[in-house]
Structure 1
Amino acid sequence: MSTQQSPLIKDFFDSETSTFTYVVYEGFGSSCVIIDSVLNYDPKSGRTSITSADEVISFIKAHQLQVSWILETHAHADHLTAAPYLQSHLGGKLVIGDHIKNVQTVFKGVFNLDDCFKPDGTQFDYLLKEGESLAFGNLSLKALLVPGHTPACMAYEIGDAIFVGDTLFMPDVGTARCDFPGGDAKTLYRSIQKILSYPGQTKLYMCHDYPPNGRPAMGVTTIADEKASNIHLHDGVTEEQFVRMRTARDKTLEMPTLIWPSIQVNIRAGHFPEPDANGVAYLKIPLNAL
């Protein structure tokens, strides 16, 4: 665990997609990073909007923060990223883990994308490797490769906090699904054990929350709480038990509502496909593909 000072963390919750976006910073006027932003999307009309992203922009401008990095924990399948919109208003560089190239290759095939789409990660400004660090002001983040939900998932360690993406959820929700292309329950188990090897007081920040029993949405827990009471992977659950549970559970889950638009946009770092001759950009919906 890093010995740097504890960062300040502002969260934004998008109730439509149950997604947390985080701004991490040192203080008024400091450098900052944005993690897992949301571009609002109406699947009925095919229209995007910027309500969630504008909340982030307003906060950053009010606190006179300077954006260094706009990070994705992975190529999300349940919401569109607002990273290019945020970059156009705030600056910063778009960042994801370097294994995104594997995900791009898979979905280039799924969507039968033409040669204009390069599965080489160049749609992003920077690709992070396992263990690599990025500085922003007096703070820095460390990249932790945590595949399983997807083969490219990264968690980000900043001070006494880890932003876990979709790897873990709140203890009463459990863990991420592993049935997307490239996902693997055994790999996820090992990735979670990597996270849970940190000290018990380490704070874990979720990308999503799906509250049971009517409780309010919550985005932060600790290593100790996860080890004590995570319903899928508390202390004592073996790899074999977890894989059996996760595999059976994933067979019962529906695909996310926004999976097709999300993946097509997010593997492009949030950029839309090139417009057709009529000036309109189009997304594909593969039939009977997954």
Structure 2
Amino acid sequence: MSAATANAPHVEGFFDPATFTATYVVHDPATRRAAIIDPVLDYSPRNARTSTKSADALLAYVAREGLTLDWLLETHAHADHLSAAHYLREQTGAPIVIGRHITAVQKAFAPLFGADDVTPDGSQFDRLIDEGEELPLGTLAIRVMHTPGHTPACVTYLIGDAAFVGDTLFMPDYGTARSDFPGGSAHALYASIRKILALPAETRMFVGHDYLPAGRSDYAFETSVAEQNADNVHIHAGVSEADFVAQREARNALLEAPALILPSLQVNIRAGAMPPAEANGKTYLKLPVNAL
């Protein structure tokens, strides 16, 4: 997607049209140390079959470019796609990283699925991170911002001049994330976005999804702090917290649950692993009826 300048990462984006998700491979040009952000495990709801085609494309790119994979970074526990982090950890040994408040998401959703194997302490992940922490990436650092609102566990990763915001912000012509999941908050979302938009204006911003709004013919995933402050349809400069919250909550009320929320969350609170096999050796994803 975007070539690096002297002191910035190279960012390569991979788009999953089935879930409108952008996954990123980010590397330090000087050392070729890399991280993968928000990988997708392909899943067909028609027959409950999974595939690693999208994840294998990431591995092929890493091998082709001669990269060393240091980190598997999750911006949050996704409700619209299954994570491939567990598979990629098996293939590479790279640790899975997520915000420490994943424990709140596990506490909310493990009982819904009767997931007795999920201890809500984040231990399914290799590293839980907090606001202000840094992870090394060659000569660069991965800085962590806690940016709740969409979920309580959402984080933004700052790498050089690039910010990876997950679902907190979308492209300026599409707006912002919903905030009606358990632990979500339009007020917290407003504060998180204002924190992101206080970054330097030239900061490159990479979003987690694009839904191709009317008036645009091509998918897009890269914008900037300056563009968001000027043009975001929900929260450009000058929009008050009260106005944003009223608009965001009105929009939330019109939204259906994501199509893959039930399979996604029971996998993603397990760091991308499937539930334990039953006595017959088969693995099942549960669909709690009338529970959402």
State the TM-score, normalizing by the size of structure 2. 0.96
Q: Does 1:208 align with 2:209?
A: yes
Question: Is contact 1:29-1:63 (8 Å) kept?
Answer: no
- Partners of 1:28 and 1:65 within 8 A in 2: no
Contact 2:28/2:137 (<8 A) preserved:
no
Work out the CA distance in 1 between the residues paired with 2:114 and 2:84: 24
Following TM superposition, by how much is the alpha carbon of 1:108 offset from its aligned partner in structure 2, in angstroms? 1.6
- 2-side partners of 1:231 and 1:84: how far apart? 36
Tell me the CA shift for residue 113 of structure 1: 2.4
Q: Distance in 2 between matches of 1:137 and 1:199?
A: 23
The residue number in structure 2 matching 1:184 is: 185
Give identity over the alignment, percent. Answer: 51
Post-superposition CA distance 1:103-140 (Å, at most 9, x none):
101112222322x2200000001101111000022121
User: 2:110 is paired with a residue of what secondary structure?
Assistant: helix
Q: 1:28 to 1:90 in 2, by over 3 A?
A: farther
Contact 1:26 1:32 in 2 (8 A): yes
- Structure 2 partner of 1:113: 115
| Residues 5-54 of structure 1 deviation map (CA, whole Å, 9 limit, x = unaligned) | 11111110011101011011123862100000000000110000111111
Which residue is 1:161 aligned to? 162
Distance in 1 of aligned mates of 2:219 and 2:75: 20
1 CA distance for matches of 2:85 and 2:118? 19
Give 2:222's aligned amino acid: V
Per the alignment, in what secondary structure is the counterpart of residue 61 of structure 1? Answer: helix
**Does 2:247 correspond to 1:245?**
yes
Is residue 72 of structure 1 aligned with residue 79 of structure 2? no
Moved more, 66-75 or 213-222: 213-222
Measure, in 2, the Cα distance between the counterparts of 1:207 and 1:143.
16
CA distance, structure 2, for counterparts of residue 111 and residue 43 of structure 1: 17
What's 2:259 paired with? 257
Q: How many angstroms does 1:145 deviate by?
A: 0.2
* Distance in 2 of aligned mates of 1:67 and 1:199: 28
Report the equivalent of 2:3: none
Counterpart residue type for residue 263 of structure 2: P
CA RMSD in angstroms, aligned pairs only: 1.4
- Aligned: 1:104 with 2:106: yes
For residues 158-183 of structure 1, what are the alpha-carbon distances to aligned partners after superposition, in whole Å with 9 as ceiling and x for unaligned? Answer: 00010000000000000000111111
Instruction: State the alpha-carbon separation in 2 of the partners of residues 176 and 85 from structure 1.
Output: 27
Counterpart residue identity of residue 131, structure 2: E
Contact 1:29 1:64 in 2 (8 A): no
Cα displacement string for residues 243-280 of structure 1 (whole angstroms, at most 9, x for unaligned residues): 10011111111111100000000000000000001111
Question: 8 Å contact 1:98–1:121 — kept in the other structure?
Answer: yes
| Residues 173 and 231, structure 1, Cα contact 8 Å, conserved in 2 | yes
Match of 1:54, SS state, is helix
In 2, Cα distance between equivalents of 1:49 and 1:28: 33
Distance in 1 between residues matched to 2:124 and 2:268, nearest whole Å = 10
Taking the aligned partners of 2:267 and 2:27, their CA distance within structure 1 comes to: 27
Distance in structure 2 (CA, Å) of the matches to 1:129 and 1:192:
17
Could you tell me how far apart the structure 1 residues matched to 2:141 and 2:200 are? 19
Provide the rounded CA distance (Å) in 2 between the counterparts of 1:86 and 1:108. Answer: 23
SS in structure 2 opposite 1:74?
coil
Corresponding residue of 2:132: 131
Give, in angstroms, the shift of residue 91 of structure 1: 2.4
1:27 is aligned to 29
How many residue pairs align between the two structures? 287
TM-score of the pair, normalised by structure 1: 0.96
Tell me the SS of whatever aligns to 1:264. helix
Q: How many angstroms apart in 2 are the aligned matches of 1:83 and 1:109? A: 23
Residue of structure 2 in register with 1:55 after alignment: 57
In structure 2, C-alpha distance between the alignment counterparts of 1:258 and 1:95, rounded to whole Å? 22
